[in-house]
Structure 1
């Protein structure tokens, strides 16, 4: 559970360390900008920007009931962030499974990707799709609208 926060905390610590130099030189504006950039990076790479994750079993159950895709993801994955941001508000309509928190979800991703934990893996109607185009994922939501 704590490894999902390693990258965001690293960004905060690095930002604070880099902002210390300008503060000591009396350039508070530059320090604030540096710190803000690193805080934004920490926020984007944290699990906070993703809809609340559920377990793989619960996601499959919900998907069977409403027909919506299941997205297996992990914090810090640039492709997962790309999918999340490109989907915009529609991302909340998907069922998200954090593979770092759910061993069953990680096993499902490995089974779909020849033993690799390649994310995002989107499961639509029982078929896995690795790193699909966000427009395609949005189109998969249309029938369940």
Structure 2
């Protein structure tokens, strides 16, 4: 849990410190703008924008039942953020596993990526795909009935 929030907290504190410096030097508009930028960047890098993470075992079980892909991700990964943002509301149809919260998820990713924790790694019908495009992932979603 701590590792998940480390980057967003660091961004928020760093932005607050730099904004305080600008404000104390008589430039409140730039200080507030910088603070807002860093806070927005902290939110984007936080787990808040991702659907609730599941354990790897639960995600596999649900994927087998409903045919939806499993996405292994980690906070701070720009490729994971890009996928989440470009999928929009369809991202909620996927099963998301935060590899920093789930050691079994991290192990699954390392097993298919030569020992590296390369994310996003997407499993579709049990087959892994490393860093696929959001458009490709969208195509893998089961058709709505």
TM tier relative to shorter chain:
over 0.9
What residue number does 2:2 align with? 2
What residue number does 2:137 align with? 137
TM-score, L = length of structure 1 = 0.96
Whole-Å separation in 1 of the counterparts to 2:66 and 2:102: 22
What residue number does 2:99 align with? 99
1:1-145 residue pairs with structure 2 within 5 A?
1-143=1-143
Q: 1:143 Cα shift?
A: 3.2
TM-score, L = length of structure 2 = 0.96
Gaps of 5+ in 1: none
Whole-Å separation in 2 of the counterparts to 1:22 and 1:133: 40
Gaps of 5+ in 2: none
How well do the aligned residues superpose, as a CA RMSD in angstroms?
A: 1.1
Whole-Å separation in 2 of the counterparts to 1:142 and 1:59: 16
Instruction: List structure 1 runs of 4+ shifted beyond 4 angstroms.
Output: none
Q: Deviations over 1:61-120 (max 9, x none)?
A: 100010000000000001100111111110000000000000110110011111111000
Count of aligned positions: 145
**3-state SS of paired residue (1:117):** coil
